A and B are shown apart, each in its own frame.
Chain A
Amino acid sequence: MNSNKHTQAVAELDSLDPFVRVKALRFIKNNIIGNKTKKDLYISLDVIPKLVAFFKTQEGADSEVQIQAAIVLGSFAYGGEDNVAELVKHGAVKPLLECISIRNDSRLIEAAARALKAIYKYLVTLLNPDSLNPKLDREKIASVHTAELAATIIARCCDTNDQQIQIASAGAFPALVKLLVCGYSKAQEAALDALAYLCRENPDFGSKIVDTKSESVDSPVKIMLNLIRDKSPTMQLISAKCLTHLSRANAISEHFNDITLIVLPTLVKLLDEKGPVREEAPHVLAYLIRDNEELQKAACDSGAVLKLADFVTHVGDQDNSYYDPLGDSDKLKEVVDAKIIPHIVKAMSHRSYGVRAAACQCTRSLSRSVNILRTNLVDAGIATPLFKLLSDESTDVQTTACATICNITIMEQGGIEKLVELVNSPDNTLRLNAIWALKNLVYHAESEVKDSVMKALTYQKMEELIEDQEIDIQEQALNLLRNLACLGEQRLMNIIESKLCLWNSEIIKQILYVINNIATGAEYHKKAIMGRPNILTHIKNYMAHENPEIRVAAVWCLINLTWTEDKNNSSPGRVRELRQFGFEDIVKNMMNDVNLDVREKAKTALSQFSQT
């Protein structure tokens, strides 16, 4: 084949002149339309990525170039399965979808919609296992497998209403409903999944699916209600999901009894499963009962709350190891949306220790999340049962309760005394959590709160904690100290001085912030630091520390020490002393620091030097 003119056309696509590009695109278009061999030729010349790239430059994009490119992409899709796979591989679907979702040139929308139609149409054709004309048994199985893949892809392509419309108009409903009764469980699951996503939040499509006629005597809903009784948990889950989506789309209101008596209990039962089913079941359940009091009540009656509490525990534990935290907080949000928090709080006073522990673990996971959630927990009256659990007979429950308090920080009802008591516990985890809770409690707190914490804890205990064998406890103790912004007692200064020599950068950072908090205090606080040349030397050294956070903390110390609130104080004197110490030159050098934060703080510090 004389392919010179074709390679030339492909090369011309790189031209910067839109006129040349359009000409090349039109040439390609008129060559490939109707001609499978030419389509393959151009795909082998790697033209698809170039076409896709035309859609990436949003600004200054020539709409005629995009129109012609969309037409060419669409024509490729008519070349069959392999071509569609190539298009998908090179990410052609997304830019085409964007063309139809953004307000655009109507001709561009038309061209993009046509191209998508061609792509989806091919997928929908594949949903029918007979489309590949299978003759041998082996071929028949392979074609069902292809149909399953097509359904899986479709399920992933229904993110927006536009996408749903595109796929539905390609004739997906009858093909998917037919696939529901094909007898191959994987293909049936994929079909259910695709149907579920096609009707998600789409009442119109929900009723279209329900009304889809098939060769089977049973209606689509009847088929789904049969599949939900399948022995495979995956099949049960996906059937439940599909029915849930139909129910949320108001398409099966006459089946309300089936939802309450079959779908809901199935979902609750699936919470006991393992792996992916266990992970997805709560999503579906939350979606099913959202904003529906009757179903929420039914869910609680069927023991969903305790299972969910256990579930959140499970997720929470894994959260520490490998779970995507974002996904986790999504799940937490669903729990709130499902309005089950009051039930969880109630379960915290359950007579069985296991339930108390689970409920507490659950609230702990919830309390890790955003503020709204914490407020939610407090509103649900979590405080009383939680403090009761601090003296629970089981150490497990105590530990978890304490950890929850860490996140919620409630100080009423003798919480502080209780926490301080736990600080003396021999159990390391419990001690750590208790200090952690105290730390959160005094963060930005009123000075009475700080006073009462310090009074209950005592300086001696604080010193002990800072010298604790556990490095974690040391760190949290210093953190607590930092938040307390303690008075400049000599004993604390000694602690600080000794701690500044340590190697652990987390400890150093905490210590530097303790110094900072002291340096923001009254004049005599600042004097206490100025009177400690060792501390000042350490601060100076840490300004060259490899960790930028430590450099920032060290510069902060300097800023606080040179801070002038009124002209009569002794800050000019301190500035002179610090200058003699060589701080000013170091700060000047820090203006070239690689870290922006460090540079900015250095700038602030330097301006305070220059003021005096």
Chain B
Amino acid sequence: MTSTTTNLSHQSRKVVTTDEWNKKLSDVKIDKADLNKLIMNYFVIEGYKDAAETFSQECGLSPSIDVDSIQDRMYIRNAIQNGNVEEAIERVNDLNPEILDTNPKLFFHLQQQRLIEYIRQGKIAEALEFAQEELAPQFLEELERTMALLAFDDTAVSPVGDLLHSSQRQRTASELNAAILTSQSQEKDPKLPSMLKI
């Protein structure tokens, strides 16, 4: 790339060549401690409690938050991933009763997940009763899609089969995890992946 100034009406804009760029890049000293902080941030937000603890011992960096709160979040995440949605709800209500009262969409997704778990276990009567009692028709489209599960004998090949995938549980778990983090004034996304995207 050659350096040219094309716009005379403005002050000449500085253009950086690739060589210059690489040179500048290598000149930048990245502090080891900053890197460590980035990694810790990733562990904490993603909920790797053990890793965070070990890492903090290794590099002498204390986690930015109470490790027990990571434990809570992980417990809740695992409960959902194991299909124990009710337990997750009780736990999050203990942690902070405002979260589900102020996030109607998240609350619906949790109830939807409960419905999915009933259907997965073939408890059709319970599923119907639950849907009747608990699911307000706020998010009608999603609700209808979920109820459609009941219509198929082989749900795996049905157009709504994705709801039974583990990815659905993971999505619900992550949404809840993010809401808890927000309520604790934590960032909900780790910094490291977004830095890598730059």
Nearest B residue to A35 via CB reads B134
Q: Which residue of B lies closest to A26 (CB)?
A: B90
| A573 CB, min distance to chain B CBs, angstroms | 83
B98 in contact with A36 (CB, 8 Å): no
Q: Please, what's the 1-or-0 string for B88-125, where 1 marks a CB less than 8 Å from any CB in chain A? A: 01100100011011111001000100000000000000
B136 within 8 A of A: yes
Residues of B within 8 A of A (CB): 89-90, 93, 97-98, 100-104, 107, 111, 129, 132-134, 136
- Cβ-defined contact, A33 with B97, below 8 A: yes
Query: How far in angstroms is the closest Cβ of chain A from B91?
Result: 10
A33 close to B133 (CB less than 8 A): no
Cα–Cα, bound, A33→B111 (Å)? 12
Give the contacts of A282-303 with B (CB-CB under 8 A).
none
User: In the bound complex, do residue A71 and residue B136 qualify as a contact, i.e. CB atoms below 8 Å apart?
Assistant: no
Q: 1/0 contact trace for A96-117 toward B, CB 8 Å?
A: 0000000000000001001000
**A34–B104 contact, CB under 8 A?**
yes
Compute how far the CA of A33 lies from the CA of B133 in the bound complex, rounded to whole angstroms. 14
In the complex with contacts A33-B93, A34-B107, A1-B133 CB distance below 8 A: yes
A2 engages B129 (CB within 8 Å): yes
Give the residues in chain B near A2, CB-CB below 8 Å. Answer: 129, 133
Inter-chain contacts of A33 with B (CB < 8 A)? 89, 93, 97, 100-101, 107
Among B97, B103, B107, B111, point to the contact of A114 (Cβ < 8 A): B97
Interface residues of A in 44-86 (CB under 8 A from B): 71, 74-75, 78
Q: A34-B104, A78-B102 known; A71 and B97 CB under 8 Å?
A: yes
Report the minimal beta-carbon distance from B175 to chain A, rounded to whole angstroms: 14
State the Cβ distance, B85 to closest chain A Cβ, in Å.
12
How far, in whole Å, are A74 and B107 apart by their CA atoms in the complex?
A: 17
Inter-chain contact B134/A74, CB cutoff 8 Å: no
CB–CB B104/A114 < 8 A: no
Closest 7 CB pairs of A and B: A34-B107, A34-B100, A78-B101, A71-B97, A33-B100, A30-B90, A33-B93
Q: Is the CB of B97 within 8 A of A29?
A: yes
Q: How far is the CB of B80 from chain A (nearest CB, A)?
A: 15
Query: Which of A26, A35, A111 meets B136, CB within 8 Å?
Result: A35
Q: Which residues of A contact B (CB under 8 A)?
A: 1-2, 26, 29-30, 33-37, 71, 74-75, 78, 111, 114, 118
The answer on a CB contact under 8 Å between B134 and A30 is no
Which chain B residue has the least Cβ–Cβ distance from A78?
Answer: B101
* A26-B89 Cα distance, complex, nearest whole Å: 12
Q: Given the complex, which residues of A lie within 8 Å of B111, measured CB to CB?
A: 34
- Contacts A2-B129, A2-B133, A36-B136; is A30 near B101 (CB within 8 Å)? no
Look across to chain A and name the residue whose beta carbon is closest to the beta carbon of B92.
A33
Contacts of B97 in A (CB 8 A): 29, 33, 71, 74-75, 111, 114
* A2, A34, A37 — most chain B CB neighbours (10 Å): A34
The chain B residue with its CB closest to the CB of A37 is: B136
A114 to B89, CA, bound (A): 18
For A34, the chain B residues whose CB sits under 8 A away are 100-101, 103-104, 107, 111
Q: How far is the CA of A26 from the CA of B86 in the complex (A)?
A: 13
Q: How far is the CB of B90 from chain A (nearest CB, A)?
A: 5
Which of chain B's residues has its CB closest to A117's CB?
Answer: B98
A36 surroundings in chain B (CB, below 8 A): 136
Are A114 and B98 within 8 A (Cβ)?
A: yes
- A72: shortest Cβ distance to chain B, in Å? 9
Per the bound structure, the CA–CA distance linking A124 and B89 in Å amounts to 29
CB <8 Å contact, B129 and A30: no
Residues of chain B contacted by A118 (CB below 8 angstroms): 98, 101
Chain A proximity of B17: nearest CB distance (Å) = 47
Alpha-carbon distance A29/B129, docked complex (angstroms): 20
**Distance in Å: Cβ of B112 to nearest Cβ of chain A:** 12
Could you say which residues of chain A place their CB within 8 Å of the CB of B98?
Answer: 74, 78, 114, 118
B93 partner residues in chain A, CB cutoff 8 A: 29-30, 33, 71
| A26 contact set on B, CB distance < 8 A | 90
B96 (CB) vs chain A CBs: closest residue? A114
**Chain B residues with CB under 8 A of A1:** 132-133
Residues on B with beta carbons closer than 8 Å to the beta carbon of A37: 136
